[in-house]
Amino acid sequence: MAKILVNNNGPLFGEVKISGAKNAVLPLLAATLLTDETCVIEGAPDLVDVEVMKKMLLNYGASIDTSEEGVIKVTAEEIASVEADPEVVQEMRASIFTMGPMLARAGKVVMPMPGGCTIGKRPIDLHLKGFRALGAEIVEEDDKVIVSVGPEGLVGDAIYLDFPSVGATENILMAATLARGTTIIENAAKEPEIIDLANLLNKMGARIKSAGTDMIRIEGVEKLTGCIHGVIPDRIETGTFMLAAAITRGRLLIKNGLPGHVRPIISKLKECGVFVDATPEGILVDATEGELVATDIKTLPYPGFPTDIQSPFMAFLTTVKGESVVRETVFENRFMHVVELNRMGAGITTWNSSEATVPGGKKLRGAKVRATDLRAGAAMVLAGLVADGMTEVSEIYHIERGYENFVGKFKAIGADIMKIDED
């Protein structure tokens, strides 16, 4: 099993270029199933999750050309199968983003739902509620869900989401593009990735208005066409490198990151005393001067503080002066990294599954820790950058799912970090 070894090498300095967003490119790729013409996705990051999504598309019968670096050309001329491959779905929850496009294009999709750790405790009830409102019939079996629609096709309707789920908004949005009449998604997610998806769909000929607000309106069209579209920069990778500068008390220029997408992270870092400036060259994060102090964070749907930055921010908070409270409100159980940070001497207390107190001011020590999920893995590496002694992070396949050239980018800014392959 591969591991990442990190040693404290002092403050990090230099420039980092942010890659295309994982959470944008996955639904964009799924959306290519909506047309028989070629869609060209530019600026696609090289990630394990992207490979998994490519396998999903191939399995449905699409052909894919990746001869040009960072460019993925998908042509789903014919849908050869409406059944997703259980082994591929096991690898990535975002496989379910293909349900909406398949339902709209082929009228049916069979999605394995093995449950357990495959999709964690994250349900898909809101996705299904949306499909049902558009006229789909849903049969839930032990290990799969079958979603289908009669020959009359999907019909637009108003759908209220009980929670502004990102995935459900995307799935319903994609399905509704080819539905008859008008669909309105109320309490829709407002993440930048939703806007990126709507922009791609509109280029394909869809008629979507107000993506990025909590009420999205979709006028169904008969057919969608091919298009060329560039992926937005990854705001979570942006935040991770902002925190790399902060935790090591270094200075980084983060190129290609969009300040407008990381406002809560900028605000919270400033509250701690970190200098952040959105310059024309990129986001400058400078933590070289002054003492940094504690702040509280609470995760919320966009434009609130992103849940995906909660664990990296918590790693940073262990190093500042004073006590911070971290509240997780998006996911039920997203404190698995606390045990790992505590192995390094962080002394964090969790009061329940959604509230933790970080005492701060700790000198972390290197330890053998696990990347319990993708972002927790990044948090462990950040902690390792400032710990005394070596930190050994295992289960790094999580990190490789969602960060492009993670080790290489850290090396380039002065980190003492390496990946090793062990049997």
Q: Which residues are annotated as catalytic? A: 117
26 binds ligand UD1 (CB under 6 A): yes
**Strand partners for 146:** 110, 139
Give the closest residue to 126 by CA, choosing from 91, 67, 169, 79: 169
351 binds ligand UD1 (CB under 6 A): no
Give the closest residue to 309 by CA, choosing from 212, 223, 247, 376: 376
Query: Measured from the CB atom, is 170 or 286 closer to ligand UD1?
Result: 170
Query: Measured from the CB atom, is 94 or 154 closer to ligand UD1?
Result: 94
Q: What is the number of helices (H) and of strands (E) in the chain?
A: 14, 23
H or E, element range at 393: strand 391-394
Q: How many CA atoms lie within 13 A of 354 on its CB side?
A: 8
Q: Which burial class, exposed, middle or buried, applies to 83 when counting CB atoms under 10 A from its CB (0-12, 13-18, 19+)?
A: middle
28 binds ligand UD1 (CB under 6 A): no
330 binds ligand UD1 (CB under 6 A): yes
Query: Measured from the CB atom, is 282 or 403 closer to ligand UD1?
Result: 403
140 binds ligand UD1 (CB under 6 A): no
The beta strands (E) that lie in 62-143 are given as: 63-65, 71-75, 108-112, 137-140
- Sign, Cα dihedral of 74, 236, 401, 254: positive
Q: List the one residue from 203, 331, 350, 390 that touches ligand UD1 (CB under 6 A).
A: 331
Q: Which distant-in-sequence residues (6+ apart) come within 8 Å of 120 by Cβ?
A: 93
23 binds ligand UD1 (CB under 6 A): yes
Query: Measured from the CB atom, is 317 or 330 closer to ligand UD1?
Result: 330
Whole-angstrom CA distances from 115 to 26, 52, 277, 402 are: 21, 18, 44, 21
**Strand partners for 74:** 39, 64
In the region spanning residues 153 to 192, those forming contacts with ligand UD1, defined by CB under 6 A, are 163, 165-168, 189
Query: Measured from the CB atom, is 248 or 310 closer to ligand UD1?
Result: 310
The letter for the amino acid at 332 is E
DSSP assignment of 343-364 equals HTT---EEEETTEEEE------
In the region spanning residues 84 to 103, those forming contacts with ligand UD1, defined by CB under 6 A, are 94
Q: How many residues line the site for ligand UD1 (CB under 6 A)?
A: 20
Which residue sits closest to ligand UD1, CB atoms considered? 167
Smallest gap from Cβ 308 to ligand UD1, in A, equals 5
378 binds ligand UD1 (CB under 6 A): no
In the region spanning residues 189 to 228, those forming contacts with ligand UD1, defined by CB under 6 A, are 189, 193
Per-residue contact string for residues 226-265; x = within reach of ligand UD1 by CB under 6 A: ----------------------------------------
Q: List the one residue from 234, 308, 328, 404 that touches ligand UD1 (CB under 6 A).
A: 308
Q: List the one residue from 127, 362, 370, 409 that touches ligand UD1 (CB under 6 A).
A: 127
Query: Rule CB under 6 A: which residues touch ligand UD1?
Result: 23, 26, 94, 122-127, 163, 165-168, 189, 193, 307-308, 330-331
